[in-house]
Chains A and B, each alone.
Chain A
Amino acid sequence: MSELFVIVEHRLGEIRDITFEMLWKAGELAETLSSNLTAILIGHEVNSIAEKISDRADKIIIFDDEGLKNFNADIYKEIISRLIEESKPTLTLIGNTSWGMELAPCLSIRAGLPLATDCIDIISKNGNLIAQRQMYSGKIFANVSFAESDGYILTIRSGIFPTDRIGDRQAQIVQKDFPLKDITVKKNFIEFVETAAGDVDITQAELLISVGRGIGEEDNITIVKELAEALNGILSCSRPIVDKNWLPKYLQVGTSGKSVTPKVYIAVGISGAFQHLAGISGAGTVIAINKDPKAPIFRTADYGIVGDLFKIVPVLKDKILEVKKGG
C-alpha cells in the first residue's frame, strides 16, 4: 500500500498548526489515493506531541533523542531521506515555513525527488499529481506538474487547509533510532530571540487599523494614526512598513510578525500578500481600503473600498469624530 509522509513541525514543546493542516489534506488524499498516512516526528521528549496527532495518522514514526532537541535541517534531511529510501512514499509533505523552506530543497536533492513549494492545493487527476500554487505576489495562480518520479515532495502554505481532524484513525507508534554520530552537524543552534515587546500588544486588540505600502511615505502614516485614534483602535502594519523602519516590529501583522484576532481589522493601503493574510485569518470582519480593484486582499476581505486612501481616510476620520461628538 502506498504511503504519504507528513513531517511534523513543532517548536518549544508545542505542535504548530501547519502540522494539523497538512494532516487534514494528507488525510483527504490518503482516501483518494488509498494510501497510509504516516507522520514523522523528530525531537526530544515529544510524546505529548505524538498524542495530539494520534487520531490523525495511521502511523507515527518517532525519533526521540537529546541530540534532536533543536531543529536542524541537515539532521532532519538525513533521517527523512533514509525513511523515504526505505518506504518510498508517494508524497512527502512539509510545511512551507521558515524551517520547512530550509529543509525541503535540501531533502529534494538528497532524496532525488521533485519538489514544489508553497502549495495551496494538491490535485490528483488521472494518476497525475498537480500542485497548485501562486506566483507574482498572489496575482497569478499556477498548476504545476512533475517529472516522472517515485515520489514527490511538497511544501504546504500555512493557513490554507483546515486544522480539523479528517477521518478516524488510530496511529501506530513506532520508535526509531538514528545514529546521530553519522551526521556531521554543521550549524550550531545558539538561542531563540524575540522581538522587543513594545508598549502595545496588537494580539489583544479588538479593533486594529493597519497601514501598508500604499501609504507611500513615512510622514503619511499620521493619516492612519489619526484614524486609529479617532476610532480608539490600535495602529498596526504590514511587513514593508517595518522593513523600512517606519514602525516597530511589534506592530507587524503577518507570518513573520503577529497573528491577530480582532473583531474588526481595517487594512489601509495593504495589497494582501499571503504572508499578511496569514496573520489575519482569525480576524472577525476585515475591511480593506485600496486603490487597486484587483488587489488580493479584496478576495478575502468582508468589505472593500476601492479608492484613494488619501481621499477616503481623512473624510472617514472627520465623520467619526463628528459622530462621536454628536452622539
Chain B
Amino acid sequence: MDIIVCAKNVPDVAEADLNISDKGTDIDKEDLVFGINDWDNYAIEEAVLLKEKYGGTVTAITVGNEDDEEVLRRCLAMGADRAIRIEADDISRFDSFVISKILSRVVKDLQFDLIFTGVLAEDDYYGMVGMMMAEELNINHANMITALEIEDGKARTTSELEGGLGEVSLIELPALLTIQTGINEPRYVSILGIRKAAKKELKTIELPDLGISDEELSPRTIIEEAFLPPETEGAEILAGDPDKISSDLIEILKKKGVME
C-alpha cells in the first residue's frame, strides 16, 4: 500500500492578534509560529496507520521553502518513509490551481495506491487542491473522509455530510481522498523522533525541473485585498465583575423566558 500525503506548513493563528501586512494582501506572519496544517496532521496519521496495518510506503510532499521542510520532518518522524519538497521561496504567488498543478506533476511519476490531502488548509480555507489534483490525475476521489477501510484493493470510505449524516462509498484504487479532522488521534512526535527521522530521504525538486508551462503556473485567483473584519454592531458586552455579570445574565435569561 503506497500512500502519498500532501502537507502544508501554516501559521498558528488560534490565539494570535493578526495584522495586515504592508502589501495589504495577507497577514503579517513574522511573529507567528508555524506548524503542520491540522487536517494534514490527521492525513499523515491515517497514512501511517494504513502502512502499519498493510505494509507499503508513505511519501510526504510539500511545496515551500527551506523553513517549510519542518512539516516534512514531522511527517517522516510520524512514520513516512521519504519526503519531497518542491522548492518555492514564496508560495503566496501561487494559488490552489497552481499548487495542484505542481503537485500533480510530481505525483504523476510516483507509484501510489492512495493520495491523501487535508480537506482544508487552516490559512486560506480554500479546500481545492485535493480535488483539483484528482481531476488532473484522472483518478477516483472522495471528499471529507471520516472513516476508511481497505477491502480487496478497494477503499470503503465514509464521507462527512451535513447534519451528522455520512455517505459510505466503495472506491477502486488508486484514489485521492481528502481527510477530515477526527478520523483518528494523531500520535505525538518527539524531538528525538524528528532527529532520528533526519536520516530518512528528503529530496528537493526545483520548480523549473518539472517543466510546467508558465501558463499553468499563473494563478487563476488573485487576492486583491485582505482586511480585518468590518466592525459590525456585534454583541452587547456585559461588563463588570463575575458577580455583576451573573446578575445581568440572569435578568436576560428571565426576560427570554428560559428561567423562572
Contact = CB atoms under 8 A, between A and B. Distances in A.
Interface string B154-166: 0010111111111
Contacts of B170: 187-188, 190
Given A98-B159, A145-B221, A327-B260, A105 B234 contact: no
A146 B220 CA distance: 6
A288 B218 CA distance: 43
**Chain B contact residues: helix, strand, loop or mixed:** mixed
Given A102-B141, A316-B246, A108 B97 contact: yes
A163 to B, nearest CB: 15
A193 B224 contact: no
A285 B252 contact: yes
B192 interface: no
Contacts of B243: 315, 319
A193 B158 CA distance: 9
A24 interface: no
A302 interface: yes
B160 A98 contact: yes
B252 A303 contact: yes
A90 interface: no
B169 interface: yes
B17 A294 contact: yes
A316 B128 contact: no
A285 B259 CA distance: 14
A98 B71 CA distance: 27
Contact of A256 (B162, B167, B168, B228): B162
B166 A192 contact: yes
Contact of B235 (A105, A146, A207, A301): A301
B238 A98 contact: no
Contacts of A102: 131, 141-144, 159
Contact of A115 (B27, B136, B182, B221): B221
Interface in A220-258: 231, 233, 239, 242-243, 245, 249-250, 252, 255-258
Contacts of B126: 117-118
Contacts of A294: 17
Interface string A136-147: 111111111111
Interface in B81-98: 96-97
A116 interface: yes
Nearest to B226: A142
A138 B230 CA distance: 12
A118 B234 CA distance: 22
A183 interface: no
A214 to B, nearest CB: 10
B237 A306 contact: yes
Contact of B164 (A109, A134, A258): A258
Contact of A105 (B132, B182, B185, B236): B132
Contacts of A307: 242, 245
Interface string B117-140: 001001111111111101110011
A189 to B, nearest CB: 6
A54 interface: no
B235 A319 contact: no
A158 B162 CA distance: 11
Contacts of A64: none
Contacts of A109: 100, 132, 135-136
B247 interface: yes
17 contacts: A99-B143, A105-B127, A105-B129, A109-B132, A117-B125, A130-B224, A138-B229, A140-B228, A141-B230, A143-B223, A145-B222, A257-B164, A258-B163, A296-B229, A303-B249, A304-B238, A312-B245
Interface of B: 13-15, 17-18, 20, 25, 27, 96-97, 100, 119, 122-132, 134-136, 139-144, 156, 158-172, 175, 181-182, 185, 218-230, 232, 234-238, 242-243, 245-247, 249-250, 252-253, 256-260
Q: 7 closest pairs, A vs B, by CB?
A: A304-B235, A105-B131, A114-B220, A243-B182, A102-B143, A315-B242, A301-B235
Given A142-B226, A315-B243, 4 more contacts: A114-B220, A137-B14, A140-B229, A147-B221
